[in-house]
Structure 1
Amino acid sequence: MKPTPGVGMPVDGGLTFQHQYSPLGEYALKIYNWALMPIITVICLFVLALLIWVVVRYNHRANPVASKTSHNTTIEIVWTVLPVLILVAIAFPSIDLIAKQYKPAPKEALTIKVTGNQWFWTYGYPDNGDFEVVSMMLNVPGQPEVNPGTREVGTKPWDGPSHLEVDNRLVVPAGEPIRLQITAADVIHSFAVPSLWFKLDAVPGRINEKVLFVEKPGVYYGQCSELCGAKHGFMPIALEALPRDKYDQWVLTHPGGVIDGKDAAEAAAAPAATPAVATVPVDSPLAASTGAAE
């Protein structure tokens, strides 16, 4: 799939978060835009106004005799209670977001295993025959070769930005929850895709699990977000979300790939095992015409 410019990737001169393509990301962005930023803006403007007022009103020229007031009960109560109320107001949506981020995946959700290596990713599909895909960054034309034997970015029409595109993407079905199990083979890595509001550490000897949900088909990019060695900056993530039927077709192109326990040959033969006429009512016009033809 060819990526859409500006979708699922950083853009030149971009501000704030990337546009979100997961329910959690949209919820988190709403909290940021409609709760956190207004509160932060009001606090900053209020503090700025206080500083200006103090500078103008209480400088040595305007106020040669300094006040000796050391306590003001009302002000002390206000500056203690008000921050507490602000923090409580922020806490409710924040705790709700955290709880939703770590809600377990449904029992029937597709499981994909992600393994961080120095310096590439391996994607395993235990529910689809347990085949694996190795994902390495494409080499950049005119720059030192990062991954020997890997082609250069731009040599295929579906390639995305340099330093983000890979030879084999993480392919997932769109529109359904996916159980990502993340680990590492050597040092700590971090699997992060900003436009999907997903970030989880890959720790050697441990499996961390989190639900991934991609709302619509597309290509979404991320990078390892944990300093993991010399080639840390050359360890991108390219995630391609496909409609379920296209995802099933992709799975069956891999040796050992299965869908619901059936390989490519069995899946191709499955429709023929059920005669089409079995679903046609006996008294329907179609049944009558079929009988006449026979």
Structure 2
Amino acid sequence: TILPAIILLFIAFPSLRLLYLLDEINEPLITLKTIGHQWYWSYEYSDFMNIEFDSYMIPMNELKLNNFRLLEVDNRVILPMNTQIRILVTAADVIHSWTIPALGVKIDGTPGRLNQTNFFMNRPGLFYGQCSEICGANHSFMPIVIESIPTKFFIKWIMNYSNSLDDWKQVMGL
């Protein structure tokens, strides 16, 4: 009984070291908070003047000719390429799962809990995903679209979004 215990310890110590190395998250330049709702996603860019928006699936009768059915959204997540990105995922009501297969990202959103992971996009383009947790009747209508763009265009997008938000607040008297 001593020999199996020694063998297990011999295997366990290097494994623990590797687990801690794998869990280390690189210093992200951008943090995106994602909140799952029945049946849409909310996004918050808290690094940039608290930009927030909801993302709903576009109904079939409003799709354009080149859109994908059940995958297009009204507000895409815009992120810069060649940048380390941290995503924080939670849920407001039931368990959701934010999944982008092309990026190898799948993270559960649980009410009352904030999960995090990081990823890196090395090319521009559109990345499609969906909620991959059965979260209710309209579970299949929770698409995710990430648009990866060069950093200089991302900065312009952030500036334009912030300016239009300021204009809206001024009109509303906030």
Pairwise TM-score range, normalised by the shorter structure: 0.7 to 0.9
User: CA-to-partner distance for each residue in 1:121-140, whole Å, 9 max, x for gaps?
Assistant: 11100001111021110111
Kindly, what percent of the aligned residue pairs are identical? 40
Give the Cα–Cα distance (whole angstroms) in 2 for the partners of residues 171 and 125 of structure 1. Answer: 10
Say yes or no: does 1:124 pair with 2:44.
Answer: yes
1:164 aligned residue: 71
- Greater helix share, structure number: 1
Matched, 1:134 2:54: yes
How far apart, in 2, do the equivalents of 1:120 and 1:137 lie? 7
- For residues 246 and 228 of structure 1, the distance between their equivalents in structure 2, rounded to whole angstroms, comes to 35
2:63 maps to amino acid: V
Counterpart selection for 2:112 from 205, 212, 236: 205
Q: 1:97 to 1:199 in 2, by over 3 A?
A: farther
Q: Does 1:103 align with 2:27?
A: no
Question: Which amino acid letter does the alignment assign opposite residue 247 of structure 1?
Answer: F
Q: Counterpart of 2:26 in structure 1: which amino acid? A: A
Partner of 2:89: 182
CA distance in 2, matches of 1:234, 1:98: 37
**Which structure 2 residue ranges, 5 or more long, are not aligned?**
1-10, 167-174
Cα distance in 2 for partners of 1:104, 1:174 equals 18
Show the counterpart of 2:6.
Answer: none
Scaled by the length of structure 2, the TM-score of the pair is 0.79
Distance 1:105 1:133, change over 3 A: farther
Which letter maps to 1:202?
A: G
Letter in 1 for 2:140: G
Q: Which moved more, 1:248-257 or 1:190-199?
A: 248-257
Matched, 1:227 2:140: no
* Residues in 2 aligned to 1:104 and 1:190: alpha-carbon distance in whole angstroms: 20
Say which structure is richer in strand.
2
Using the TM superposition, give the Cα deviation of residue 177 of structure 1 relative to its aligned residue in structure 2, in angstroms: 0.6
For the residues of structure 2 that align with 1:213 and 1:98, how far apart are their CA atoms?
A: 20
1:11-40 deviations in whole A, cap 9, x for unaligned? xxxxxxxxxxxxxxxxxxxxxxxxxxxxxx
Instruction: Provide the rounded CA distance (Å) in 2 between the counterparts of 1:129 and 1:256.
Output: 10
> How far apart in 2 are the matches of 1:225 and 1:97?
26
Query: How far apart are the structure 2 equivalents of 1:98 and 1:225?
Result: 27
Q: 1:243 to 1:117 in 2, by over 3 A?
A: same
CA distance in 2, matches of 1:237, 1:99: 30
- Residues of 1 paired with 2:164 and 2:86: CA distance? 18
Query: 2: distance between equivalents of 1:98 and 1:165?
Result: 38
Aligned with residue 63 of structure 2, among 144, 147, 153: 153
Aligned-pair CA distance for 1:255: 3.4
Q: How large is the Cα RMSD of the aligned pairs?
A: 2.5
Structure 1 pair 250/228, CA: closer, same or farther in 2 (3 Å)? same
